[in-house]
Amino acid sequence: MINKKFYIDYLSQQTKEDGRTYETALSDFCDYLLDLFSVKAFYGTLDVFNNWQQQRLQAKPKFGVLAMAWLNDVSQAMDRGQWLDVFGMLYEDMYLTAGKASKTGQFFTPQSVSDLMSSIIGSGKNEATSAKIEGTTVNDSAAGSGRLLLAHFIEASKLDHLAGRPFHYIAQDSDPLVCKMCALNMMVHGMNGRVICQDTLAMSTPSVEYFINEVRYPFSTPYYSVRIKSGNPEK
């Protein structure tokens, strides 16, 4: 289990210093990570990439500490054959418990249920490595922080760490903050896909799209990236 208090204390301190809400602090942290792992860092030499990340880690050292803790916690979870949604945990503890869930009808699928659904759907080694699966899209039209997609990817990767690669994941949600959370979750778990911020019932014009890990596909690399494409948000 991760130390949620560590994250909450850091974000709480940030709200006091900036005089902003808890939700804004989490959104700011997500924006920091999206910039840290921006695909723009790869538009030059290795020195450009290293300078890009060092400058951002040094510019906001508190967020830098959180970023390193997040990467480490997710890495340890994946080493155990599990997925980890730090953002979803914080969002539930800090915001949904404050009444947002009842106002918006927003509830996140528990990890145990996500894992169960993924195992029922089936994404074992034989299926995932089949030529028939190559390029198959897995879509969640009310993705939240992406838990069902994370569970599917990890289930596919249990027997073979490359078995989840043939899948292309598409996440959709109307909440701008949870779309950021979902994009970062998919990125750090090594998934390939896209997060679309839109009302999927009305199929509105996306306000923003996140393209995940383009630097890792089709060739496997140790890097992570997010490319952001702004849309035309409806007024």
Per DSSP, the residues of 59-72 read HSHHHHHHHHHHHH
**Within 10 Å of residue 188's Cβ, how many Cβ atoms?**
23
Confidence of residue 163 (pLDDT cuts 50, 70, 90): low
Using one digit for the tens of pLDDT, what is the confidence trace for 14-31?
Answer: 888 878 888 889 999 999
Question: pLDDT tens-digit profile of 51-60?
Answer: 999 999 999 9
Q: Is the pLDDT of residue 77 over 50?
A: yes
Checking if the pLDDT of 35 tops 70, the result is: yes
Nearest of 196, 154, 203, 165 to residue 178 by alpha carbon = 196
Tell me the pLDDT of the chain averaged across its residues: 85
Pairing verdict, β 137-140 and 168-173: parallel
Query: Which of the listed ranges 12-21, 65-74, 117-126 does the model predict with the highest average pLDDT?
Result: 65-74
Q: What is the pTM of this model?
A: 0.87
**Contact between 84 and 77 (Cβ < 8 Å):** yes
Q: Rounded CA gap, 58 and 60, in Å?
A: 6
Of 4-18, 142-156, 213-227, where does mean pLDDT reach its minimum? 4-18
pLDDT at 40 over 90: yes
Q: Quick one: pLDDT at residue 119?
A: 80
Here the tokens at position 107 are 């509830």
Considering only CA atoms, which of 189, 181, 190 is closest in space to residue 210?
181
State the number of CA atoms in the 13 A half-sphere of 10 facing the CB: 18
List, for residues 196-233, the tens digit of each pLDDT value. 999 988 888 999 999 999 999 888 888 999 999 997 64
What number of other Cβ atoms are within 10 A of residue 214's Cβ? 14
| pLDDT higher than threshold 70 for residue 193 | yes
Strands (E), the chain: 137-140, 168-173, 193-197, 208-212, 226-230
Decide if pLDDT at 126 tops 80.
Answer: no
Distance between CA atoms of residues 158 and 141, nearest Å = 25
Provide CB contacts within 8 A for 59, sequence distance 6+: none
Confidence of residue 130 (pLDDT cuts 50, 70, 90): very low
